[in-house]
Chain A
Amino acid sequence: MAPTDFEETQQMAHQVTTLAPKPERATAGGCSASGCGSKPDKLAHLPEAIRAKVKDHPCFSEEAHHHYARMHVAVAPACNIQCHYCNRKYDCSNESRPGVVSELLTPEQAVKKTLAVAATIPQMTVLGIAGPGDPLANPERTLATFRELSAKAPDIKLCVSTNGLALPEMVDAICEHNIDHVTITINSIDPEIGAQIHPWIFWKNRRIKGVKAARILIEQQQKGLEMLAERGVLVKVNSVMIPGVNAEHLKEVSRVVKAKGAFLHNVMPLIAEPEHGTFYGLMGQRGPSHDELQALQDECAGDMAMMRHCRQCRADAVGMLGEDRGAEFTQDKIDAMEIDYAAAMQRRAAVHAEIEAKRQAQRAAPPQTPNQAFISVASIPRRRAEVPSRSASRPLRVAPLRVAVASSGGGLINQHFGHAREFLVYEADGRAVRFVGTRRVDAYCSGGDTCGEAETALAGTLRALEGCEAVLCSKIGIEPWDALEAAGIAPNGEHAMEPIEDAVAAVYAELSANGCPSEHVADAALSA
């Protein structure tokens, strides 16, 4: 197969990023048929009901996360299980990871905070309760918050994350409170493996330990998943990848949860630094490398939609996925705010319509760069065209191209290299461009008196970008430019303000046309 049509390549990219398990197809979505001449709606393959649920949900749709924001309110402190990657001392303001919060809120405070954020950040479409403990182990606090919000802010989607232990008994309440997105963390379906991750649970007023505890947890999770799927609640499954413990096993987890109706599987890397004080951190359990994580995600993707844009955010995060604007919404600041939510809701609706129009236009517009990024790949004169084994059906370039992108949202390359707190990583081959993950970094340039540490920060960024051949950004300074080049990563500011996937495709085409290191290696191997 030699797909050269841009349509087709785009569609293939969608299949790898947002494939839904359900077989029905939406009739809406316009231009997904080939020959239409515009880019298809990435969610077009979903049934209309699901499409409506995910199209502006940053955590359930990779495309939506470029445009919409989310927030978590920390109303649920208590937890009913122990995970070896979790430290129950959660009140830290300087760390960014799941389970960490700055201040615990009462349901009343949480409602006011949510309305304040929704009024200030109209792109915020989703309110989640994700801890810092287990939301369903704090049912009164969690449900009181949802009850108030579904009455006061009907334009906000409600979500909850849970370890699943109390899920089956809470399914009715979840449905009654209009919560239509649930995330269950499922790290194993084998009690022997589960016991290595979760040493104990609190169950029916007793502490249960070891394999027996893991068996109960797994049964409850699976039962909860089935019950939610039956009622049409959208379920995402999160799994923490722990090398040497459940890494291999997660392929089976992925198969099973998909069969039971999970919409999306999110395999996240273990975070286990000694300074976090977790069991794994203190015992020296390692997390997976970027390559190990991506390889596992790729293997699981054969079975279902995979999520790769998760930022493993705090239980009180506010803003777009890569950012945290929590500091703008501390209790004292919220107390000082007067919120007219009816007016805010009108403004929000206008902003959402604007975003949707922009997304529509982005899909309708032809790529800004040499049209045909992929068409040109196929038509590039081959340097070794005379080698018959490498003709027509093979793209010129052998290895896929992996590039890092600096973006502050909107699906565009629109961020200065030095301001990026994270990079989006994309892979391109002769057929498709696909999003494969994110790499977090410390901002290289904060413009203040921390500049003395800039060298260290830049070194950290270079490490985070390991394995990428190029980095696309809106602008870049000369010092990091030189450092990137020295590290074998091509800095590239030529695609500023272009849609990310078009730009990645164009860079792939350029590099293929000019030849590339992996090509030379392949050539050498051929002539040897």
Chain B
Amino acid sequence: MAYHITDGCVNCWACEPLCPSQAIQAAKPHFVIDAAQCTECVGDYAEPQCASICPIEGAILDALGAPVNPPGSLTGIPPQRIAEAMAEIRAR
């Protein structure tokens, strides 16, 4: 039971100070979660803290390997609407 950081990570530091288990370390090329220490915040918070502040879609995976923040979940624009949204924005 642990989260995992992918190479989508931009090393922005937002997650590191929030982890209640100090499971996140700054590393190269990107931050890493120590699987042995990660508790998925169970018992500390209702929602996993790293994934709740991470600004990059797909940068954090859950224990099953699924992105906690899938495409469109942070921009608010689902993938199938991208072209339409882009047209709206370009018309401004």
Contacts and interface: CB of A to CB of B under 8 A. Distances in A.
Nearest to B82: A283
Contacts of A244: 89, 91-92
B53 A88 contact: no
A419 interface: no
Nearest to A244: B92
A398 B12 CA distance: 53
A210 interface: yes
Nearest to B49: A205
Interface string A168-212: 000000000000000000000000000000011010011101100
Contacts of A77: 12-14
Contact of B90 (A91, A133, A209, A284): A284
B76 A199 contact: yes
A293 to B, nearest CB: 15
A79 B14 contact: yes
A89 interface: yes
Nearest to A86: B55
A142 to B, nearest CB: 12
B54 to A, nearest CB: 9
Contacts of A89: 10-12
A205 B45 CA distance: 7
Contact of A279 (B11, B16, B75, B91): B75
A205 to B, nearest CB: 5
Contact of B86 (A88, A243, A284): A284
Given A78-B17, A82-B74, A279-B75, A90 B90 contact: no
A243 B92 contact: yes
Contact of A283 (B47, B74, B86): B86
A464 interface: no
Contact of B12 (A133, A205, A243): A133
A245 interface: yes
Nearest to B41: A205
Interface SS of chain A: loop
Contacts of B86: 283-284
B85 interface: yes
Contacts of A137: 14
Given A82-B55, A199-B74, A199-B75, A91 B11 contact: yes
Task: Select the residue from A205, A243, A280 with max chain B CB neighbours within 10 A.
Answer: A205
A206 B76 contact: no
A416 interface: no
Nearest to B56: A88
B52 interface: yes
A283 to B, nearest CB: 5
Interface in B10-36: 10-14, 16-18
Given A82-B74, A206-B46, A284 B12 contact: no
A80 interface: yes
A133 B12 CA distance: 8
Contacts of B55: 79, 82, 88
Interface residues of B, number: 25
Interface SS of chain B: loop
Nearest to A280: B89
B52 A205 contact: yes
Nearest to A210: B76
Contact of A78 (B13, B85, B90, B92): B13
B46 A285 contact: no
A286 interface: yes
A199 to B, nearest CB: 5
A82 B54 CA distance: 10
A200 B74 contact: yes
A103 B66 CA distance: 32
Contacts of B11: 89, 91
Contacts of B17: 78, 138
Contacts of A284: 86, 89-90
Contacts of B14: 77-80, 88, 133, 137, 202
A104 B13 CA distance: 10
Contacts of A200: 74, 76
Contacts of B10: 87-90
Nearest to B47: A206
B20 to A, nearest CB: 10
Given A78-B17, A79-B55, A89-B10, A245 B76 contact: no
A274 to B, nearest CB: 12
Given A199-B75, A202-B53, A283-B85, A79 B47 contact: no
A209 B13 CA distance: 21
B92 A285 contact: yes
A48 to B, nearest CB: 42
Contacts of B92: 243-245, 285-286
7 contacts: A77-B12, A79-B12, A82-B55, A88-B14, A199-B74, A283-B85, A285-B90
Name the 8 nearest CB pairs between A and B, nearest first. Answer: A244-B92, A77-B13, A89-B10, A284-B90, A78-B14, A88-B12, A202-B53, A207-B52
Given A205-B52, A245-B92, 8 more contacts: A79-B12, A82-B74, A104-B13, A202-B53, A205-B18, A206-B46, A209-B76, A244-B92
